[in-house]
Every structure is written in C-alpha cells, then in structure tokens.
Amino acid sequence: MDTSYLREERWPPKRGPPPAPRDHLVWAIFNTLYMNFCCLGFVALAYAVKARDRKVSGDVEAARHFSSKARCYNALATAGSVLLPLLLGALIVTGVIHLSKLAHESVGFFTYQFSGSDDEDQ
C-alpha cells in the first residue's frame, strides 16, 4: 500500500509592513457621548483622533502610541461608567437595609402606651 501523497508545501507568510494600528475612534465617541466619566471619554477621543491623523500621515509608531493611550482611556472610562452606578446601587440598598433595621429596633422608643390610670400623678 502506497501511503505517499503530494503534500502542499507551505511557505512562510510574506513579511510585509505590520498592519496599521486601530484608532478606537468609535469607542471613544461612544464614551464621550454616553458615558463621560471624569472627561476620560473626551481624553480618549482626543488620542483616537491623534492616532487616526498619524495613521493617515504614515507615522505608524506614533499612531501605535496614541492608539494605545486611546484604548487605555476608553477602558478606564467604560469601567468607571459601569462600576460607579453599580456601586451607587449597592450603597443605596445597604442604606435602605440599615435604616429599616434601625427603624425596627427603635420602634419601642417611639411608641408610648397611654394607660387609663393616673398612677404617676399621685
């Protein structure tokens, strides 16, 4: 039995210029308009525009640098905008629970029973 077969020879992929970096412009616009936590969305938008300008002009290293900064600020803005409402909700829930326990424990203090006898007056 002949097990020999023609193999496709795979040559190493052609080495060309590295792919252009992403500028994260859409993410930055979204953060600027909808979730602008401490103006980090605006800062991310500025770096995203700089990254796009450098990419168009052909300066790939500067575009990578600004793209990295835009991604970092976008991540911080998104994390802050997601975590802060969750933290606020948790604080409200714990505050309501604490106040309900406090009201339940102090109900005896605020209730005064009136009796028909005037023992204290005598």
Main-chain phi, psi angles of 47, to 5 degrees: -70, -35
pLDDT tens column, 46-82:
999 999 999 999 999 999 999 999 999 999 999 998 8
pLDDT tens column, 9-55:
666 667 777 788 888 999 999 999 987 778 899 999 999 999 999 99
Alpha helical stretches, state H, 25-117: 25-33, 40-57, 60-105, 107-110
> What interhelical angle do 60-105 and 40-57 show, nearest 10?
170
